[in-house]
Structure 1
Amino acid sequence: MVGRLKDKVVVITGAAQGIGFATAKKCGQEGAKVVISDFNVEKLQEASRQLQLDGFDVHAVVCNITDEEHIAKLYEEAIKKYGYITTIVNNAGIFVNNTAETFDVITFEKIANINIKGVMLSTKHAIPYLKGQEGSSIINLASISGMIGTKNHNLYIMTKHAVVGITRSTAVELGQYGIRVNAVCPGLTDTNMAEQLIEGDGGGQSIRQAYENAYLLGRLGRPEEIANTISFLASNEASFITGALIPVDGGYTAT
């Protein structure tokens, strides 16, 4: 069976774990060649090893997405390895718990550098390679936090609203080149980041259960469920979708 991402070359940031790793696996299953990047060398190497054991064509590049030279090298390495790229998934990001009252500049700069600057740098350096490449697309990982507001997550929500803005404005800019730009907006997904959020809100099973109960389906999302949507947006089946924000949130934003 030929996968729907055959002949695609997908570059994924923050791919050593969580949604990024699940996306790399799904894209590999769908026939894509996959370039995975992450700042954590050991986790990246282990992710690459697992994907290769599964029989996928994968290339790992260590990358600090806040460093423009690193980002430029990431795409140079992808081109050197495969000759072209068709798709980038701007997945790398971090989470912090805070309120407007507890705002501090150091934390602001850290999360903005990764969650906003990293997306912009990755997009900037990918565009020249995506132009003229049939079926090319950019997929940003926003969040339902880019669509709504909640307490205790002030800075994270700010950055994800920024990713939504980047997605829409870049889609308008790049449509003339046939480059599609979309954002996937996950609800709370069962990853290390979710555990961090739950702990920041007090921790324990009761807090986790409260979050689960907030979703119409009564549970948190799974990384592979987010990866399924990313894979669809990367495929030619999504050829007339651009500038879209797609919630994958178990119905959270429907209420």
Structure 2
Amino acid sequence: MAGRLQDKVVVITGAAQGIGFATAQKCGQEGAKIVLSDANAEKLQEAALQLQQNGYDVHAVVCNITDEEHIANLYQEAVAAYGYVTTVVNNAGIFVNNTAETFDATTYEKISAINIKGVMLSTKHAIPYLKRQAGSSIVNLASISGMIGTKNHNLYIMTKHAVVGITRSTAVELGQHGIRVNAVCPGLTDTNMADQLIEGDGGGQAIRQAYENAYLLGRLGKPEEVANTIAFLASDEASFITGALIPVDGGYTAT
């Protein structure tokens, strides 16, 4: 039986670990061809090998998403490998702990380059290819931090609010071409980034438990749960959904 993403070619940034890797696994299960990209060449090759061993059709491209030449090459390689691109998952991003008082320009430039500029460059270079294919779409990884404010995460929250804005404005621009653009907004998900956030808030089991207790379901999310939502939005089952923000947050933003 064909999967929901049969005949889709999905480009995923930041795909060597965490939510990006889980998304690649899910898209592979659903029949997609996967273009796996990440700045970390060693981790990327390990991820690609694991996916290939699972029987998925994968092409790996080392890519620094803040470099426009790298991004242009990513899409050129995707088309060279598979002939076309239907789907983009702008997943790559980083996290920092900071407050308004501890703001510094160097950290601002770094997180903005990856979390905002990277999404814009990827979107820019994907659009000409997406216009050629029916049922094409972009899924951006925002966060509940793009919907609310919390302490100690000032710059990260800024960038994820920007991703929400990029999602909405690009959806308005591309609707006439039949290209859907949506954002998934995960709550705290059990990845290395979650460990970094918890450590920045003081670390230890008590801090982790406090975060878990803040979710109605009493736990952190799993990368696979976010990936399931991304795959749905990438599929034709979501053909009338665009400009949407989909929380995958265990009820956090309901309170």
TM-score, structure 2 as length reference: 1.00
- Residue type of the partner of 2:121? L
Matched with 2:254 is 254
Matched with 2:211 is 211
Count matched residues: 255
Distance 2:104 2:132 in 1: 43
Q: What stretches of structure 1 move > 4 A for 4+ residues in a row?
A: none
- Residue type of the partner of 1:51? L
Matched with 2:189 is 189
**Runs (5+) with no aligned partner, structure 1:** none
Match of 1:36, SS state, is strand
Match of 1:243, SS state, is coil
- Residue type of the partner of 1:247? P
Matched with 2:98 is 98
Match of 2:11, SS state, is strand
Matched with 1:123 is 123
- Residue type of the partner of 1:60? A
2:222 aligned with 1:222: yes
2:12 aligned with 1:12: yes
Residues 86-165 of structure 1 aligned to structure 2 (within 5 Å):
86-165=86-165
- Residue type of the partner of 1:212? E
Distance 1:228 1:252 in 2: 19
For residues 19-48 of structure 1, what are the alpha-carbon distances to aligned partners after superposition, in whole Å with 9 as ceiling and x for unaligned? Answer: 000000000000000000000011000000
Shift of 1:132: 2.9
Distance 1:216 1:103 in 2: 32
Residues 15-30 of structure 1 aligned to structure 2 (within 5 Å):
15-30=15-30
Distance 1:162 1:113 in 2: 12
What percentage of residue pairs aligned between the two structures are identical? 87
Residues 42-61 of structure 1 aligned to structure 2 (within 5 Å):
42-61=42-61
Shift of 1:65: 0.1
Residues 132 and 177 of structure 1 are in contact (CA less than 8 Å); yes or no, is this contact kept in structure 2? no
Residues 19 and 227 of structure 1 are in contact (CA less than 8 Å); yes or no, is this contact kept in structure 2? yes
Distance 1:65 1:101 in 2: 29
For residues 31-68 of structure 1, what are the alpha-carbon distances to aligned partners after superposition, in whole Å with 9 as ceiling and x for unaligned? Answer: 00000000001100000000000000000000000000
Distance 1:122 1:134 in 2: 19
**Runs (5+) with no aligned partner, structure 2:** none
